[in-house]
Amino acid sequence: MNTAATGQPRPEGNAVYRIDPDGFVTEIFRQPLLVLAMVEKNGTLLIATGGPTEGQIYQVDPAAEETIVLGKVNPKQVLSLLPTPDGRIYMGLANVGGIATLSPGYASEGKYTSPVLDAQQVSRFGNIQLHGALPQGTALSVATRSGNVKDSGQKSWSEWSKDVAASEFVKIASPPARFLQYRLTFASAQAGKISPVVEDVSVAYQMPNLPPQIKSIKITPTPDAPAAGAAPAAGDADPVRIPTTRRQVIAWESADANADPLVFSLYFRRGAGAPWILMKDRVRENQFDWDTRSVADGRYEVKVVASDAAANPPGKGRTAARVSDPVPVDNTSPVIGDLKWARRGAAVQVDLTVVDRTSVVAAFNHQVFGRSMELFGNFLFRFRLRYDGDIGLDHFRLHASAATRPALPRYRPPPPPGRNPGATARF
């Protein structure tokens, strides 16, 4: 007994040992129960136990190394055993108190009700398979019931089915459900002498094919590798550059209650009302790299469809789909245009427009003598830049970047009045 928690068995169980005349000790019984009383007769040991739900009587044959449950009682403890000359054994019971009798031989009839069996999901039940012996003059029948809550006493459980004569395979008549119980009824025409014997019971069931799930979709732009030779010229300040993101990594989280392997198909569309276009089918990983150069600029939705058809009979596969949030695709650079160059007294004035049709203009950089200033804003900008002093075109350059793309190559504006038209401007 576990002394730290009085009245409870040890986690590793309690044991009974046999000590032979030579002093050798042998363990002959161990169960996670309280061992409360023992009776020995002709080398066979009866052990009375107590447990959390019921009291049990074990019959232990050390010579045959065989242990069987001889009887169960509703009270939680069998405290004492008293054998009588006629072969009966009186049992003192506790919690709740009472007296019961264990008689030799077999009863003329008895019933066994199984624990509640859990299929984990609502399932269709097939056959019960029985192994054992059915001597002549005995009978065995089987009944079942099912329900969707674990407590079999609830009214939602089905009624017991009609008792069916036992054979090796007995079809289960109870409706589909998550939980099942079976009941065996033993009968003997020669009371006390022979009995049917059931050694083990197997229940066949089939879980329905449940649809898979797409729990989430995440689309992440992946910056392209910088182009060779993209470094600024010597003496130039490097302008703000937004990395190009032609590739979008589509990743999703999926699950299947039947643990079926899933195959995915990916679709895209431009706008909520547009038709879906197949991007890629027969994808087996939970990630796909989308090269957006094959589509026009715009805002797109991506749909991931999961199917378990490959793991199920024809026509029994299930699918599930999920649509992503809109994702922008912008593979066109912003445009620097409407350039006007004019001299205003001792200063130079530059007027220009920066526009991007899909993404916001993320950065505009203009440099004079290698010094730069960055501006941030919207889809369209109109700028008027004023520089004091005699500034030549060879000291001036512009660069703009959108949220997803850098600007086109630098432009050459018309020369201002009074300047050499053959001078080179870096645009």
The pLDDT tens digits for 70-124 are 888 888 899 999 998 888 889 999 988 899 888 877 888 889 999 999 998 889 9
Distance (Å, whole) CA 411 – CA 408:
8
Domain definitions of the chain by residue range: 14-104, 110-206, 213-225+236-329, 335-402
Q: Output the pLDDT for position 71.
A: 83
Distance (Å, whole) CA 214 – CA 354:
41
CATH number for domain 14-104, candidates 2.40.10, 1.25.40, 1.10.287, 3.40.50: 2.40.10
Topology adopted by domain 110-206: Jelly Rolls (2.60.120)
Residue 178 has pLDDT above 90, yes or no: yes
Per-residue HEC secondary structure of the chain comes to CCCCCCCCCCCCCEEEEEECCCCCEEEEEEECCEEEEEEEECCEEEEEEECCCCEEEEEEECCCCEEEEEEEECCCEEEEEEECCCCCEEEEEECCCEEEEECCCCCCEEEEECCCEEEEEEEEEEEEEEEEECCCCEEEEEEEEEECCCCCCCCCCCCCCCCEECCCEEECCCCCEEEEEEEEEEEECCCCCCCCEEEEEEEEEECCCCCCEEEEEEEEEECCCCCCCCCCCCCCCCCCCCCCCCEEEEEEEEECCCCCCCEEEEEEEECCCCCCEEEEEEECCCEEEEEHHHCCCEEEEEEEEEECHHHCCCCCCCEEEEECCCEEECCCCCEEEEEEEEEECCEEEEEEEEECCCCCEEEEEEEECCEEEEECCCCEEEEEEEEECCCCHHHEEEEEEECCCECCCCCCCCCCCCCCCCCCCCC
Q: Output the pLDDT for position 131.
A: 93
Q: Does domain 213-225+236-329 fall into CATH 2.60.40.10?
A: yes
What does pTM read for this prediction?
0.55
Mean pLDDT of 153-178: 93
Distance (Å, whole) CA 59 – CA 38:
10
Mean pLDDT of 324-353: 79
The pLDDT tens digits for 256-313 are 988 899 999 999 999 888 999 999 999 999 999 999 988 998 899 999 999 999 999 8
Residue with structure tokens 């050798």?
24
Distance (Å, whole) CA 290 – CA 251:
11
The pLDDT tens digits for 190-203 are 767 888 999 999 99
> Where on the phi/psi map is residue 424: left (φ > 0), alpha (ψ -120 to 50), or beta?
beta
**Residue closest to 366 by CA, chosen among 413, 331, 404:** 413
Q: Could you tell me the pLDDT band of residue 176, with boundaries at 50, 70 and 90? A: very high
Q: Output the pLDDT for position 203.
A: 95
Distance (Å, whole) CA 10 – CA 4:
9
Q: What is the mean pLDDT of the chain?
A: 81
